[in-house]
Structure 1
Amino acid sequence: MLRFPGFGSRTPHDVTIGPLDLAARVDEALAVQAEAFGLSQDEIGVRRQIVLRHMGYPGARALGATLTDGRLVGFVYGMPNDRLHWWSTVVQPYLRRAGHDHWLDDSFVITELHVHTRYQNQGVGRSLITTVTDAVTQPRSILSAIDVESPARALYRALGYQDLARRVHFPSAPKPYAVMGADLPLHRREEPGPPVR
C-alpha cells in the first residue's frame, strides 16, 4: 500500500492507497463521487446499480484512498474493455471515425476515478490510477472525461493519455466527452506522451 504524509493543517491523517471492496463500500464511494462530481440522489441510485454490475465483470478491480480512521476519500475502478459493454458501443463510432477503433481491443478501461475535493491536487488521483493500471495485463488504457480543459484532463495528459476522439455524446449526458488512451505503464512525471497510434 502507498502512504501519503499528512497534508499539514488541512488534515492530520495519512492517506493509504490500497485494494477496495467496492461492492461492499459502494455507498461511501458514491458519496465521494457525488461530492467531487456533483450528482443528484437519482443519479447516485442509477450509478449504484451500474457499479455493482461492473464489479461482477471478469478482471474488474478497484482501489481506494482511505484515511487512518478508515474514511474513504477517493477511489478508482476499471475493467478490461469488452466491445459488447454499453460504454464501448457508444464510443466505437467516434473512435472509428478518428481511426482509433483498435483502442477498444486489449485495453483496460478506467471507468471511474474520483477524489474528494479536500484531497484533490495532492497526488491521490495520480496514485490511484497509476497503481490500478500497474496491476493489469493489458498494454494500454482508455477512459472518457468531460471534453473541457480541466484538472482531470491535465492529469490524464501528464500520465500519457492523449485524445482519441472528441465531442463524444453519451445518452442523457448534458456535456460532450473526450475518449483518451495511453500506453501502459503510465508516466510517472509530467512529460508529453508518444504520438497516438
Structure 2
Amino acid sequence: MPHLPHRNRNRTGDTAVTVGPLDLADRVDEALAVQAHAFGLSDDEIAVRRQIVLRHITFPGARALGATTGTGRLVGFVYGMPNDRAHWWSTVVEPYLRAGGQDHWLDDSFVITELHVHPGYQNRGIGRSLITTITDGAAEPRSILSAIDFESPARGLYRSLGYTDLARQVHFPSAPRPYAVMGAPLPLRRRSR
C-alpha cells in the first residue's frame, strides 16, 4: 500500500503526517498510548486492550495503518478486518441489529475495530485519511463499526463518509456508555471539491 502524504501544522510544530502501513504488533504500546490519550484510559484498561489488539491483529485479513510525523512519532492509527459472526463484537451487536432487520450487515463487511487520533492532531483530516485508506483496500462491499452513542466529532466524521446508524443504545459488557453500530457502503464517500 503506498504511503499517502498528509501535511498539516499541529501544535507541536511537526508539519508532516504520513499515513501508511503499520506493524501494529510491533508498535502496540505506542498505538495504545494514542488511544489512552484520546479516550482517557486507565493503565488497567490499556493492559486489557493490549491483549485484545495483539489477538485481533492475528485474525485473517486484519490490517493496520498508522499516521506518523516526520520524526516517526505515531499520532494516529486504525485497524480492522473482515467481519466474522463468531467474533465477540459480532455476537454482542447481532441481537441489536437483528431487532432492526439489519443483521445482514454482519456478512461481507469490513469492520473498523479501532480508529484513534491523538487530540493534538485531531481536526486535520488524519482520521478521515486513515479510515478511507484502510477501507479502500477492503474486498468487502461495505464497512461497519461501533462508536459511543452521542453526537461526537467521530460520529460526525463517520456520517460525512456515508455511515448511517444501524442500531443505537448497544450495550457492551463493562462499557459504561452505550454505543451505536454504523454501516456504510464502500468505497466511502469523499468530500466534494
Q: Secondary structure at the match of 1:78?
A: strand
Where does residue 122 of structure 1 map in the other structure? Answer: 124
1:109 partner letter: V
How much does 1:2 deviate?
Answer: 1.2
Q: Which runs of 5+ in 1 are unaligned?
A: 191-197
How much does 1:13 deviate?
Answer: 2.6
Deviations 1:42-72 (A, max 9, x none): 0000000000000000000000000011100
Q: Secondary structure at the match of 2:65?
A: strand
Where does residue 20 of structure 1 map in the other structure? Answer: 22
Alignment of 1:42-61 (within 5 A): 42-61=44-63
Summarize the Cα distance change of 1:18–1:149 in structure 2 as closer, same or farther, 3 Å threshold: same
Where does residue 188 of structure 2 map in the other structure? Answer: 186
Q: Number of matched residues?
A: 190
- Normalised to the residue count of structure 1, the TM-score between the two structures is 0.94
- Normalised to the residue count of structure 2, the TM-score between the two structures is 0.96
Alignment of 1:103-142 (within 5 A): 103-142=105-144
Where does residue 193 of structure 1 map in the other structure? Answer: none
Summarize the Cα distance change of 1:8–1:64 in structure 2 as closer, same or farther, 3 Å threshold: closer
How high is the sequence identity, in percent, across the aligned residues?
75
Summarize the Cα distance change of 1:10–1:96 in structure 2 as closer, same or farther, 3 Å threshold: same
Q: Which runs of 5+ in 2 are unaligned?
A: none
1:156 to 155, 158, 173: 158
Q: Secondary structure at the match of 2:47?
A: helix
Moved over 6 A (4+): none
For residues 79 and 169 of structure 1, the distance between their equivalents in structure 2, rounded to whole angstroms, comes to 22
RMSD: 1.0
